[in-house]
Amino acid sequence: MGLNIQRRQPALDRASFSDAIPPLLQRIYAARGALADSDCNLSLNKMLPPTCKGLPDAVARLVSALEADERILIVGDFDADGATSSALGIKVLRAFGARQVDFLVPNRFEYGYGLSPEIVAVAAESKPDLIVTVDNGISSLAGVDAANALGIDVVVTDHHLPGSELPKALAIVNPNQPDCPFPSKALAGVGVMFYLLSALRAGLAQAGWFERKGITPPKMADFLDLVALGTVADVVPLDHNNRILVHQGIRRIRAGLASPGIYALLEAGKRDPHHLQASDLGFVVGPRLNAAGRLDDMSLGIRCLLADSGEEARQLAADLDRLNRERREIEQGMQQEALSHLENLQLKVDETLPLGITLHDETWHPGVVGLVASRIKERFHRPVIAFAPEDDAVVKGSGRSIPGVHIRDVLDAVDKRCPGAIIKFGGHAMAAGLSLRRDRLAEFGDVFAAVIEDMSDPELFIASLVSDGELAADDLTEPLAQQLLDAGPWGQHFPEPRFDGDFLLLNQRIVGEKHLKFVVAPLSNPQQAVDAIAFNVDIEQWPNPDVERVRLYYALDINRFRGNTQLQLMVQSLEAVA
């Protein structure tokens, strides 16, 4: 079966670019909904103003907390968004002059997600006057009630979709809560916290706080490295506002102005910060932070981001790197077991494969099931939920979906069809988590697949590669590759430019265990040799000395080695052409 490549149709007829943006970039931007120069302007002054519902009440409470020297406790989530949100809150509040501010992250294996009554009991031991949740809290009804009962005020900052009832917090800042006028609903948790802290800075300045305390008000832009990392790692849509936050944060990292912890994590992942791309945050730094929350305790990751010295940061980053290697080993074993489950069911990628896949194994690690679900989803192009045991009566699942199938809405429909089976669930369009009664697992799997079939267009389940078209031989240059890299940040809902085309295959060899390093030439210019690499190829098919022409789906990239640079095609898919 050949590559199923769909070419994007840019809306250039509705675009109004100036000549300052080259024609190829105009086509690429227009295909992603950016239709004018203003959509590509990533200056800080183009950020959306702070109009989030709940901001004034949250700011007022934090101002009073600083003025009264109260104890502030930040309660975060155990992923990279939660870690960066927690670190951001600690750093900025301390820079504002807060003397009693600390963080607490629930251990996912003991307390589960969010501000639960159990974690409130732990928090109460440090006698906080105010709890600020970051990247969680919108569904923590019982936890907020528990804090209120103890006389602890709660400010919720979150970005997840709310349920039918909101927690009785003193203030809620979440662009996705009802009646919030903030135009972008795509902020990550760290983005929500950044807006709150920016508004707090203005509130403190208005109250004369900095002048009275002799504090030079810190520049909020100095903390955008953390915002960029959390935004990319949480895979939220890169709308215009998020692209500004990420772009400005990446600029600081490239310029040597970021947190020592970020540089230490980049060093552990063998990435050069001077040439940082958003994908490095998503695939190098983010997973090392997430490994702490998946296998151990996310406080390790937060302490790395809070480290003041490079030496301390490198020590913590080394621990995170070790955890990440352990996470990869566990994940690879679980992935193979998941594939064996499918093979035992004699499932292939055809009409017999259910449109929704559920997998369960008693030996699986609950911190890694989301990654397994993601890998199986990518392989079979189906929504997947992977379950691991929580206790004798409950299994905990993590789900990943495909574009067009809103997995949280699917779970909501399943909950209505199977009353009492799901204990709790939450999430968004592409990812969700749930706790399920173990004895309802088989029933859940059948209904999950049926609901997806009822709600979805069959065309959604035909996997395709989306291309920005074919490049001419003259476009295969290092300057154009650099121009495309600089035109980012690229990411969720604003994907990196990829192209397709047929090439002559000049030579090929395997490097590492299963990476294909090869040289191609455009059909129109057989003398123009271009380096290419494809990772994790099927070594039973490649290299193949009988193949003279190949069809590639690729991105333009620059290979940097020992101070030298060279154009390289990063090939995602390839096939022989007769």
CATH of range 51-321; options 3.90.1640.30, 3.40.309.10, 1.10.10.10, 3.40.50.10070: 3.90.1640.30
In this model, does residue 349 exceed pLDDT 80? no
Confidence of residue 369 (pLDDT cuts 50, 70, 90): very high
Q: Which residues of 274-309 are buried (b: 16+ CB within 10 A; e: fewer)?
A: eebbbbbbbebbbbbbbbbbbbbbbbbbbbbbbbee
Is the per-residue pLDDT at 346 higher than 60? no
Residue 321 pLDDT more than 90?
A: yes
pLDDT tops 60 at residue 159: yes
User: pTM score, two decimals?
Assistant: 0.91
Half-sphere exposure of 563 (CA within 13 A, CB side): 0
Q: What is the pLDDT of residues 104-153, one digit of tens each?
A: 987 766 766 789 999 999 999 999 999 999 999 999 999 999 999 999 99
Residue 310 has pLDDT above 90, yes or no: yes
Dihedral of CA 245/249/251/257: which sign?
A: positive
pLDDT at residue 213 above 60? yes
pLDDT for residue 351 is more than 60 = no
pLDDT in tens, 399-450: 999 989 999 999 999 999 999 999 988 877 888 899 999 999 999 999 999 9
Could you list the beta-strand ranges (E) of 278-430: 357-360, 384-389, 394-400, 422-427
| Each residue's pLDDT tens digit, 57-95 | 999 999 999 999 999 999 998 899 999 999 999 999 999
Q: What is the mean pLDDT of the chain?
A: 94
**Mean pLDDT across 311-340:** 92
What are the pLDDT digits (tens) for 35-48? 999 999 999 999 99
- CA angle 381/384/385 to nearest 5° reads 170
The predicted pLDDT at position 2 comes to 66
Separation of alpha carbons 388 and 16, rounded Å? 51
What is the pLDDT at residue 344?
66
Rounded to whole angstroms, how far apart are CA atoms 445 and 359? 9
Instruction: Give percent above pLDDT 90 in the chain.
Output: 83
Q: Tell me which of 3.40.50.620, 2.40.50.460, 3.40.50.720, 3.30.70.980 is the CATH number of domain 5-29+468-576.
A: 2.40.50.460
Question: Do the beta carbons of residue 282 and residue 298 sit within 8 Å?
Answer: no
Q: Does domain 345-461 have CATH number 3.40.1190.20?
A: no
Per residue in 390-410, pLDDT (tens digit) is 889 999 999 999 989 999 999
Integer-rounded Cα radius of gyration of the chain? 25
- What local confidence, expressed as pLDDT, does residue 47 receive? 98
Q: Which two tokens stand for residue 275?
A: 């040439």
pLDDT number for residue 114: 84
Q: How far apart are CA 450 and CA 438, in angstroms?
A: 19
pLDDT in tens, 90-104: 999 999 999 999 999
Map out the domains of the chain as residue ranges. 5-29+468-576, 51-321, 345-461
Confidence (pLDDT) at 1: 47
Select the more confidently predicted residue: 413 or 345: 413
Q: Which of 104-118, 472-486, 512-526, 528-542 has the lowest mean pLDDT?
A: 104-118
Are domains 5-29+468-576 and 345-461 of this chain identical in fold?
no
What is the three-class DSSP state of 443? helix
